[in-house]
Amino acid sequence: MRDRRFDHIGIGIAVGFLFPVICYGIILALIELLDRMDIIEYFNPRTAHLLALCTAIIPFQWFKRRRYDQSMRGMIFPIMLYAAYWLWTYRHLLSF
């Protein structure tokens, strides 16, 4: 029998909100490090936000492999909110 303690919608919501935020901090730290080493001169913050949003795929796939359907369902809400925030913030740069 599988351990289902992580198969809860609340776990998915928490992971969906926290994981991209933590990864965004890591991405910013890496960008700062690469800037200090003069490897890159400029990195668009829009790209950093989008990369952080895409990191949500990692725990989503982890939940999928273990068939934690409720956790996957919970992750959809924060991902959609972050995606809507990204679209709203950079709507003037998009050509729709």
2 confidence band (pLDDT: 50, 70, 90):
low
Note the pLDDT tens digit of each residue in 45-84.
899 999 999 999 999 999 999 999 999 999 999 999 999 9
The number of folded domains in the chain is: 1
**Assigned domain for 88 exists:** yes
Nearest to 27 by CA among 40, 16, 14, 15: 40
- Contacts (Cβ under 8 Å, ≥6 apart) of 19: 55, 56, 58, 59
Domain that holds residue 62: 9-93
- Contacts (Cβ under 8 Å, ≥6 apart) of 2: 66, 67
**Assigned domain for 63 exists:** yes
**Assigned domain for 2 exists:** no
Note the pLDDT tens digit of each residue in 15-54.
999 999 999 999 999 999 999 999 988 888 899 999 999 9
